[in-house]
Structure 1
Amino acid sequence: MTDANDSHDIPSAGTSTSEEAAADAKKVSSEIYDLIGIKGKASNTGAGVTECSGKDREKYFQIFHPWSFTPASADQLGGVMERLKEELPKHGWKVVDYGPDNSKQKNVNLTADNDEKKYSVKIVHFAKDNPPSLSLMVVSGCYQVPDGEKVERF
């Protein structure tokens, strides 16, 4: 699930309307928010719809939900990525990538897949930003709309 451009790696997420799938993505984001476990503010961004590579864009879609988290106090994010690396597997997630990126800042990245929920999340810790924050991208597997329906794009 980690590479949205390779349709062979994207699992089927079942049948759903775009609206229902977007609501599911927000629930998954909310569960991850709870695992962050510190006081702060999450951005209020909506979910979006994208096509499933190589499939009929009128019948198949993925949901993506980008959001960010800024702690109430700048020093609170210390250790959060290590905690998420430990906590996510206890909630059905498999950490598939973890470590600093190649940027000058060496931002810590965590990518995890939840095979049961058919979701993937990528979390980036921007420790050196002012204020420090987390950037999250929750992405679904590939949904098919119910018969007679079309993919709603938003």
Structure 2
Amino acid sequence: MTDNSSDVPSAGTSTSSAAADELERVSSGIHDLIGVRGKTSDSRATVTECSGKDPDKYFRVLHPWSFSPASPGDLGVAMQRLKEALPKHGWKIVEYGPDTSRNKNLRLTADNDAKRAGVHIVQMAKDNPPMLSVDVVSGCYQVPDGQEVEHF
């Protein structure tokens, strides 16, 4: 899911807290696909704006987290498992390959139309400790009539 407002699908109507809970469940499903032991950062979803839309009525949810495998050698295994497993669970990989950074980090971007969500994963092999940086983002929600976007 890109940040270009014309490319961001509608995710329907929801309160911010319900949408955040749903996106954290999507994140948990992605985490379950990693399949190697390791440590996951403790982070919560946050509310962001829908580019070009009224911030009092529309919002997106972002859930950033990271995963550090128990064994640094399992980092590539974790990324490969995600590359293979995501499409089997409704995700369409739209980008996969090294980025333009000096470290040539491996990047994977996938969208799931049914879940109205996208994921951007960066394999940071040269970091200490090596880790996967994961950003799960929702489509653009509209709050129900009479409600306001909660920012957290």
TM range, normalised to the smaller chain? over 0.9
Q: CA RMSD in A?
A: 0.8
Number of matched residues? Answer: 152
Question: Deviations for 1:41-88, whole angstroms, at most 9, x for unmatched residues?
Answer: 111111111111111111100000000001112111123222211110
CA distance in 2, matches of 1:73, 1:89: 26
Question: What TM-score does the superposition give when structure 1 sets the normalisation length?
Answer: 0.96
CA–CA separation in structure 1 for the residues paired with 2:76 and 2:52: 41
Q: Percent identity?
A: 64
What is the CA-CA distance between 1:139 and the residue it aligns to? 0.5
1:129 CA displacement: 1.5
Instruction: Output the CA distance in 2 between the equivalents of 1:140 and 1:39.
Output: 27
User: Given the alignment, which residue of 40, 45, 56 partners 1:42?
Assistant: 40
Name the counterpart of 1:23: 21
Equivalent residue for 1:132, pick from 130, 145, 148? 130
The answer as to whether partners of 2:98 and 2:104 remain within 8 angstroms in 1 is yes
- Distance in 2 separating the partners of 1:90 and 1:78: 19
Q: What SS is found at the alignment partner of 2:133? A: strand
Query: 2:83 matched to 1:85?
Result: yes
**Aligned: 1:59 with 2:66:** no
Distance 1:12 1:78 in 2: 34
**Where in structure 1 are there 5+ consecutive unaligned residues?**
none
Please give the secondary structure, in 2, of the residue aligned with 1:123: strand
Contact 2:46–2:151 under 8 Å retained in 1: yes
Contact 2:62 2:136 (C-alpha < 8 Å) held by counterparts: yes
Q: Deviations over 1:1-56 (max 9, x none)?
A: 2x21x111000001100000000111011000000111111111111111111111
Work out the CA distance in 1 between the residues paired with 2:37 and 2:31.
Answer: 10
**Letter in structure 2 aligned against 1:83:** R
TM-score, structure 2 as length reference: 0.97
